[in-house]
Amino acid sequence: MTLAEVAAAVSGALHTAGSDTPETVVSGTVDTDSRNLGAGDIFVAKPGEVTDGHRFVAGAAEAGVVLAIVEHTVEADVTQIVVADAVAALADLAREVVARVRAAGDLRVVGITGSNGKTTTKNMLARILQDEGETVAPRASYNNEVGAPLTMLRVTETTRYLVSEFGADAPGKIARLAGLVTPDVGVVLMVGLAHAGGFGGVEATLKAKTELVEAVRPGGVVVLNADDARVASMATVAAARDLTVRWFGHRTTADVRADDVEVTASGTISEITVDGEPHALRLQVLGAHHVMNALAAITAAGVLGVPAADAIARLETLEIAERWRMQPLGSDRVRIINDAYNASPDSMAAALRTLAQITEPGQRKVAVLGAMSELGDQAGEEHDRVGLLAVRLRYERIVVIGADARRLFISAIGEGSWDGEAVFFETADEAYGYLMGELRDGDRVLVKSSNVAGLRHLGDRLGESFS
């Protein structure tokens, strides 16, 4: 795009520098982190909670950045476009770029949302599609008002598939993000309690997740979880918009369904049926809950024309869903399962059950647990449930970390883990010292918490210690 076209797309005022003119063409990477940029790239100077991107414009210019999108001019030798809101400008630019690529080629867009499983399903679908053509998908969990547009801005004239992950902590955010690309296919995984505090309850979460169905373009397809009654209710919205619905799940009515799920220490096995045709699915990824994510990915890929056998073969090459998501670390002597990138009541329960399933007689189950965030008024009750579940699954050690998770510890003691089975520590360092003295050969250890609790780093540390 020319500088003038970029300025028009973001409704900004162009201030050229050096030999640049409004007709100068730019085509580099776009990012809000100047450390990721170099010659020919574009820096969006976003004000942040910790620092202000405008402080780094001059440094970005020295690194070769050719354009800075700013909220006020900065003393730097680089062309700048001044906008009212840098984050809004990022979204506007993403909308324009995706529209241009779509108009020029055969780009297909898939949007994914759900209270749990978005990142795993995104990675699974991207793995399937990358063998079909150039595929752009989010790095890590780039699913918010900054990460989603940055992903969209990675498409090129040769991109065939864009997989977008849409997260939200308040109503209207999915509508805004999905509205940037109007997906051809919308995938809704589940409606649970993740971020319920921000939404004001699970029914408000349902309404927010339905925004993706409402954003799918006319003639598009929605892929819905047949096992989740709230997700299934979105079929009414899809019908009103004349969208095709494809179903996945364990129900016999699902277009893509799973039966006979078996979780082992080396992966997850299931028999699946795709439009009446049986297939074996052998994932290296741990956890019965990941079968549902695989079903969603296979269903979406099928909508895009990928045969089920091809989709399954590609999924079976995935070793982990994502770093810090049911990631096996350590060794056969002491196995660490680091699943501490995110946590909700549903994912916490699924992870606890998975470790219980893969622990053999004579081995101990150890749960290292931190707080689940953004649960609002339901936080106390949901932490109680996790404590009770860990005891009922007969975890030999329950290690609880952080003041926000203390109620989980108290609940476990109340359920019967009062003779040293459950212990509490204020910090991860204290817990690490305890675990290094407590863990022994044959132990199987789950590390699980929300991202803000920071236990993923404890999981890495334990994995390194027992590797």
Is 268 labelled a binding residue? no
The DSSP result for 24-59, as a single string, is: -B----EES-GGG--TT-EEE--B-SS-BGGGGHHH
pLDDT at position 160 is 98
Q: How far apart are the C-alpha atoms of 133 and 2, rounded to whole Å? A: 28
What are the pLDDT digits (tens) for 224-273?
999 999 999 999 999 999 999 999 999 999 999 999 999 988 889 999 99
What are the pLDDT digits (tens) for 104-153?
989 999 999 998 889 899 999 999 999 999 999 998 777 899 999 999 99
Q: Tell me the whole-structure pTM to 2 decimals.
A: 0.86
The amino acid that residue 434 corresponds to is Y
Q: How far apart are the C-alpha atoms of 280 and 292, rounded to whole Å? A: 14
Is 200 labelled a binding residue? no
The domain limits of the chain are: 3-84, 89-315, 327-465
Q: How far apart are the C-alpha atoms of 326 and 428, rounded to whole Å? A: 19
Q: Does pLDDT of 418 surpass 80? A: no
CATH code at 3-84: 3.40.1390.10
Closest CA to 336 of 140, 467, 426: 467
The first and second tokens of residue 451, run together, are 């991202």
The first and second tokens of residue 95, run together, are 């909308």
Is the Cβ–Cβ distance between 112 and 306 less than 8 Å? no
Q: How far apart are the C-alpha atoms of 59 and 247, rounded to whole Å? A: 50
Q: Does pLDDT of 456 surpass 70? A: yes
pLDDT grade for 420, boundaries at 50, 70 and 90: confident
Q: How far apart are the C-alpha atoms of 190 and 187, rounded to whole Å? A: 10
Q: What is the mean pLDDT of the chain?
A: 93
Lowest mean pLDDT among 166-170, 208-212, 327-331: 166-170
The amino acid that residue 344 corresponds to is S
What percent of the chain shows pLDDT beyond 70? Answer: 98
- As beta bridge partners, residue 189 has none
Q: Does pLDDT of 195 surpass 80? A: no
Burial 113-147 (b: 16+ CB within 10 A, else e): bbbbbbbbbbbbbbbbbbebeebbbbeebbbbebb
Is 115 labelled a binding residue? yes
For the chain, the distance separating the N- and C-terminal CA atoms, rounded to the nearest angstrom, is 50
Fold category of 89-315 in CATH:
UDP-N-acetylmuramoyl-L-alanine:D-glutamate ligase (3.40.1190)
Is the Cβ–Cβ distance between 424 and 369 less than 8 Å? no
Lowest mean pLDDT among 195-209, 263-277, 346-360: 195-209
Q: Does pLDDT of 196 surpass 70? A: no
Q: Does pLDDT of 21 surpass 60? A: yes
SS3 347: helix
Is 36 labelled a binding residue? no
What percent of the chain shows pLDDT beyond 90? Answer: 83
pLDDT at position 197 is 52
- Beta strand pairing status for 161-165 and 135-136? parallel
Q: How far apart are the C-alpha atoms of 24 and 26, rounded to whole Å? A: 7
Fold category of 327-465 in CATH:
Protein-Tyrosine Phosphatase; Chain A (3.90.190)
pLDDT grade for 376, boundaries at 50, 70 and 90: confident
Q: Does pLDDT of 315 surpass 70? A: yes
pLDDT at position 193 is 64
Is 451 labelled a binding residue? no
The first and second tokens of residue 434, run together, are 């305890």
What are the pLDDT digits (tens) for 28-68?
999 999 999 999 999 999 998 788 999 999 999 999 999 99
